[in-house]
Structure 1
Amino acid sequence: MPQTIASAVEHELVVKKSRFLACVQPVAGRAQALQVVAALRAGHPGAAHVCWALLAGGDSAAVDDGEPGGTAGRPMLHVLRQQDLDGVLATVVRYFGGIKLGAGGLVRAYTDAVAQALLRADKTALVRWSALDCQLPYALEGAVRRALEAAGARGLQVDHGPLVRMRFEVAAEAEAALRARLDDLCQGRIGWA
């Protein structure tokens, strides 16, 4: 099951006088990741490179930012994939120390910087939510509310009109079972939008 991290975690690594400032953090998607990277570039104008890797909602990216191809972004992305993460951005700001590390040294440094930051990160299961909308007779409202509570539904919104309309979210993996449970409970008197 994919995981994400609860909050941003930083780690600094020094290799042959080069400083690698790593940060792993939760992000909603590519747009937010690009904003974070732009802020890092603005905040570290003397940095030689701002490399990053993203896994978020099936969208992935690996950017070497001037480092030799495949020595920064892809190794960082590989670390995220190995840990089955989603909704996570890994960034590494590099201040060049004057000593070249070679391709293998760069891969090790970027990989290690991200891996060390992830060791300190609080990982949580990533829950995907499905939004559902249904209508039912007033007499069934109480029973449906209890079933939603038992299923861990969240964000319940109820409108009372000719029928009771309920909008809520449930964990995507529990959606089919909840629909079947409510269909059975309501004996065909529930309508799904």
Structure 2
Amino acid sequence: MNPNTPGQTIDRRLLRPREPKPFPTAKSHIDAGGTLPREAGVLVVQGEDLGAWLKAQRLGWDKLGAAQQWLLESVLGVEEAGEDARPVRRTRDDKWMLNLAAARRFHAREGHLNVPRKHTELVSVDEAGRGAAGVEASSGAGLQGVPVALGMWLANTRRRANKLTGARRADLDALGMRWYATAAPVPSSCTPKASQAG
């Protein structure tokens, strides 16, 4: 097909950049005597993070077609991720406790909660409790602790103060939380008067 010939068009699918094909890359790696990693960032071959791809295949097993599952099982020796390999979902209460632990840690060290908006606090897994459930090593958690975007959380919490329960507000008040001032009522002299039809 010549795009310069009148009446001829180009199939646009032919112009798309070629998508990477992790399966052949993974098969070539195994054929060369290598093993496939279970975590992201461990093995990158020809620009493909085989660990990230493999993890996505294992966690999304139900979304794969029968032929894809068969190829992964028979050719690469990959099986569906078990319940222990699936990420744990944290509840809102777990997330609150994690953020509160970060606020307590910052307050104990600094003596205030005037946290810069971009500040990230590292909380040990012991302090975080159930709030650390599901946090992976690749997300920055490790020996240092669980990273918490404390400045952003405090700014959002201040903005949504009217939606907090009394207990949660009391937890932050105990740490000396500065709340945003509430909007003052508008004086009646500033409100528009209804026009009178005459």
Tell me the TM-score normalized by structure 1: 0.28
User: Larger Cα Rg: Structure 1 or Structure 2?
Assistant: 2
Structure with the bigger RCO (C-alpha within 8 Å, sep 6+) is: 1
More strand by share: 1
